[in-house]
Amino acid sequence: MRAEEVAGKLREALGPKALRLETPTERRVFLTVAVEDLEDAVRAVLGLSREARFMTISAVDEGLDLELLYHVDVGGTVVTVRIKVPKEEMEVLDISHLAPAAEFIEREIRDLFGLEFVGLKPEKLYTPEGYEEKPLKKPMEGALPPQARPMAEALMGSACSVSVSRAVMRKRQDLGLPAMPPMAMAKPEALEEVRSLAEEVGFTERAGYDLEKKRLRYR
């Protein structure tokens, strides 16, 4: 089965759950799904053909997220289901009930990265009992160096790299001026535009800025 055919069938089976489908070569398919849709995606891939065979899972620590890549061989075409687990959660569903061979890999990933697989048996596979270190887990760090982090937060919070302090506001009022100078942060629509721009150019993702919590995901 060729990549395009596989991608077409997956698009049909998963609909909007398939966030991204890529076919870089004629025998390779990358399917990106949300963490909660992993089971459906793996079931859809394994159901593509009777020859579908679970190969392995690769884990990549990206600093803020842990990327898991589930590789399945479908008649000579490798289909990779990709999910990104945020390090704040570090929990994902075990798929060994769909592919029993996944159990060993999941236990290895749990031992080496500290990712918890819900439903997986608790025995260790790789590291000795009593050893609680996670040797391949990287620190929770984003792309921004420490000195740039306060500025990035100020920029996203107020659309200015330097925010107006309460002391400055008081001083402005003493002088008979409005507390807030005419700048972007005074207008919610301008602030929203800055945020949407930051999202569009990929700043929020690369810098690891949480738009809901309005702060960086790391300190």
Partner 1 sequence: MAGTKEQLVLLYDPARCTGCRYCELACSYKHYGVLDFGKARRHVIFDPEHVLFEAVQCGHCEEPVCASVCPTEALKKDEETGWVLINPMRCIGCRSCVVSCPAGVPWFDEELKVAVKCDFCDGDPWCAKYCSAQAIQVMPREEALELMRRIYGV
If the CB atoms of residues 104 and 168 are measured against partner 1, the closer one turns out to be 104
CB of 110 to partner 1, least distance (A): 16
Interface residue with partner 1 among 24, 122, 146, 202 (CB under 8 A) is 24
The reply on whether position 25 binds partner 1 by CB under 8 A is yes
Whole-number Å distance between alpha carbons of 84 and 69: 9
Nearer to partner 1, 75 or 150 (CB): 75
2 binds partner 1 (CB under 8 A): no
**Residues in a beta bridge with 64:** none
Hey, which residues between 43 and 102 contact partner 1 (CB under 8 A)?
56, 58-60, 62, 67, 69, 71, 80
CA distance 45 to 81: 8
Our finding on whether 141 is near partner 1 (CB under 8 A) is no
User: What is the chain's percent helix, strand, coil content, to nearest 5?
Assistant: 35, 25, 40
Residue closer to partner 1 by CB (options 70, 209) is: 70
- Give how far Cα 90 sits from Cα of 113, 114, 130, 157, 194, Å: 9, 8, 21, 27, 31
- Which one, 12 or 133, has the nearer CB to partner 1? 133
Distance CA 150, CA 158 (A): 12
C-alpha span between 58 and 162 (Å, rounded)? 42
SS3 92: strand
192 lines the binding site for partner 1 (CB under 8 A): no
Total residues at the site for partner 1 (CB under 8 A)?
14
Provide the binding-site residues for partner 1, judged by CB under 8 A.
Answer: 24-25, 27-28, 30, 56, 58-60, 62, 67, 69, 71, 80
